[in-house]
């Protein structure tokens, strides 16, 4: 049955397990497309254009915005970030889902964009703030001020939990992964995402007529 | 996590497998409540009050309607049929889902009732009309005019497929059962059906404050 690809938005404070979950979902369904953002910030060592980000000059970026080629964009600490529309539309037409690892601002804009009808948005919460901080501290050698800045950003991020279709508390990665798959499987089955249904019902009606 | 019970509406033409699927869902989750309709038609041999239907006099039935105790009701071939509201509201409060085996008219009314926000509606289609007719003919010794009347009713029923949240083509009972469970599991996880989430996020905010 022909289906329209979903726009799956995953948001969470950093340390809640979102990146691990996104990686697992991509492994579960390799036809899923990971949305790569465009940015005007310079690449860091090891970052590859088109993999971590599409690295663009400010002029190129703004030209894309003016041409309506960005699904959403925002300025953060003087750098522009945005989601190119074309790869998402292409995936949708091919019946492939696109996975977005973005914050509440990007989520809001995509939900309210022309493609909003196909959005499924999921917010991942940590089981506790103590656990969130523990995960942030054990995963790197970040200086204290970076940790504190991340925690402040987490508080702001969490304040937007009620804008999402689903909110999962990640106290067990396997269970949360399972819940995510259940949600995606169900959302793919929604009537409005299966344009092939109209044709199928037409074939049933023809059968009625020829009885 | 505290959750609000769903109102799960299953509709389909007769012969599409709906009753078998409803029975399997009840076996899968015994906490689920099957909605028993009230009717003014007299009981048939073997039917038990409160099991197949709540059998009520016309006066009793209309008194319930006037008192706002019916979630929906309709008159079919001179008999009144309706869904008592109280058992559904009780199940919702207890976090138990109610399963409705009703036609498009009942589905429409319940979706548009005060409890509509908690409705998940699923339409089951047969793989073909030939198969639907074959199932109708093999399951009983119904006279030809009954078969023809059912087929006419099926055509009218199918014309309402596009009012449902999900539409499943039942060409394999096990697979359709599995899809139904996936849909129910996912719908239970929707944010607005988990009133306990607010309290949980409050506890996270308190943790932020006391850092």
Q: What is the mean pLDDT of each run of 10 residues along chain B (211 residues)?
A: 95 93 97 96 94 96 96 91 95 96 93 94 97 88 89 95 98 97 98 96 96 86
Task: Report the pLDDT value the prediction gives residue A140, as an integer from 0 to 100.
Answer: 74
Q: What's the pTM?
A: 0.94
Using the Cβ of B186 and the Cβ atoms of chain A, whether some distance falls under 8 Å is answered with yes
CA distance to partner chain B, nearest, from residue A195 (Å): 11
**Contact (Cβ atoms closer than 8 angstroms) between residue A184 and residue A97:** yes
State the burial class of residue B52 (Cβ atoms within 10 Å of its Cβ: 0-12, 13-18, 19+). Answer: middle
What is the interface size between A and B, counted as CB pairs within 8 Å?
A: 89
Strands (E), A136-180: 166-169
Residue A210 at interface with chain B, using a CB cutoff of 8 Å = no
Q: What is the pLDDT of residue A76?
A: 83
In angstroms, the separation between the Cα of residue B40 and the nearest Cα of chain A is: 33
Residue B160: inside a domain, yes or no?
Answer: yes
Contact B127, B16 (CB under 8 A): no
Give the separation between CA B121 and CA B125, rounded to whole angstroms. 13
Residue of B1, B186, B201 with shortest CB distance to A158: B201
Measure the CA–CA gap between A103 and A111, rounded to whole angstroms. 12
Supply φ then ψ for residue A6, to 5 degrees: -85, 160
Separation CA A172–CA B197 (nearest Å): 17
| A196 part of a folded domain | yes
Contact A10, A23 (CB under 8 A): no
Instruction: For residues B189 and A175, give the distance between their C-alpha atoms in angstroms, rounded to a whole number.
Output: 13
If contacts are CB pairs under 8 Å, which of residues 67-96 in chain B contact chain A?
none
Q: Which of A191, A188, A189 is nearest to A201 (CA)?
A: A191
Does residue A159 sit within a domain? Answer: yes
Pairing of strands B79-84, A166-169: unpaired
A198 marked as binding residue: no
Residue B5 annotated as binding?
no
On whether residue B115 sits in a domain, the answer given is yes
- Residue B128 known to bind ligand: no
Q: Is A207 on the interface with B (CB under 8 A)?
A: yes
3-class secondary-structure state, position A22: helix
Question: Do the beta carbons of residue B78 and residue B117 sit within 8 Å?
Answer: no
Beta strands A33-34 and A38-39 are unpaired
The answer as to whether A211 is a domain residue is no
| pLDDT at residue A141, as a whole number | 79
The label of the residue with tokens 């702001």 reads A156
Question: Total domain count for chain A?
Answer: 1
pLDDT at B5: 97
| Cβ pair A155:B197 closer than 8 A | no
Residue of chain A minimizing CA distance to B151: A208
Count of other CB atoms within 10 angstroms of residue B79: 13
Asked if B102 and B119 touch (Cβ cutoff 8 Å), the reply is no
- ipTM for the assembly: 0.92
B33 lies in some domain: yes
Using the 8-state DSSP alphabet, how is residue A141 labeled?
A: -
Q: Are A102 and A82 in contact (CB under 8 A)?
A: no
In this structure, what CATH number is given to the domain that contains residue B108? 3.40.50.300
CA nearest neighbour of A86 among A51, A115, A55: A115
A125–B201 CB contact, under 8 Å: yes
Residue A211: per-residue pLDDT? 86
Residue B30 belongs to domain spanning: 7-202
* Cβ–Cβ contact B25 with A under 8 A: no
Helix/strand/coil for B81: strand
Residue B208, classified by CB atoms within 10 Å of its CB into exposed (0-12), middle (13-18) or buried (19+), is middle
**pLDDT given for residue A197 in this prediction:** 97
B82 is in an annotated binding site: no
Whether residue A31 contacts residue A123, with contact meaning beta carbons closer than 8 Å, is answered with no
Which residues in chain B have their CB less than 8 angstroms from residue A196's CB?
none
- For residue A185, give the chain B residue with the closest CA: B182
Element at A125 (helix H, strand E)? strand A119-125
Contacts with A136 from chain B: Cβ below 8 Å: none
Going by C-alpha positions, the residue among A136, A151, A166 that lies closest to residue A11 is A166
What parts of chain A have a pLDDT lower than 50? none
Quick check: is A210 in a domain?
no
> Per the CB < 8 Å rule, is A201 touching B168?
no
The rounded distance, in Å, linking the Cα atoms of B122 and A118 is: 19
User: Is A207 within the bounds of a domain?
Assistant: no
Distance from the Cα of A50 to chain B's closest Cα (Å) equals 33
Interface subset of A 109-168, CB within 8 angstroms of B: 125-126, 128-130, 133, 151, 155, 158, 161-162, 164-168
Q: Of B109, B162, B107, B146, which Cα lies nearest the Cα of B15?
A: B146
The residue of chain A with its CA nearest to that of B1 is A169
Angle between helices A173-188 and B173-188 (to 10 degrees): 110
């Amino acid at each position: 049955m022909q289906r329209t690809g979903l726009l799956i938005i995953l948001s969470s404070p950093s340390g809640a397990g979102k990146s691990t979950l996104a990686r697992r979902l991509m492994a579960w369904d390799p036809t899923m497309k990971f949305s790569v953002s465009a940015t005007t910030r310079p690449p860091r060592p090891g970052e590859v254009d088109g993999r971590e980000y599409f690295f663009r000059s400010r002029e190129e970026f703004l030209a894309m915005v003016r041409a309506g080629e960005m699904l959403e964009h925002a300025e953060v600490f003087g750098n522009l970030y945005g989601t190119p529309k074309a790869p998402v539309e292409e995936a949708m037409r091919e019946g492939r889902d696109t996975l977005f690892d973005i914050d509440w601002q990007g989520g809001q804009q995509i939900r309210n964009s022309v493609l909003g009808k196909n959005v499924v948005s999921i917010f991942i919460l940590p089981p506790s703030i103590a656990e969130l901080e523990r995960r942030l501290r054990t995963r790197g050698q970040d200086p204290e001020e970076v940790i504190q800045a991340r925690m402040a950003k987490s508080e702001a991020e969490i304040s937007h939990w009620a804008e999402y279709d689903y909110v999962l508390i990640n106290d067990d990665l396997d269970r949360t992964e399972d819940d995510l798959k259940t949600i995606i499987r169900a959302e793919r089955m929604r009537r409005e995402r299966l344009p092939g249904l109209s044709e199928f019902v037409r074939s049933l009606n023809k059968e009625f007529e020829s009885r």
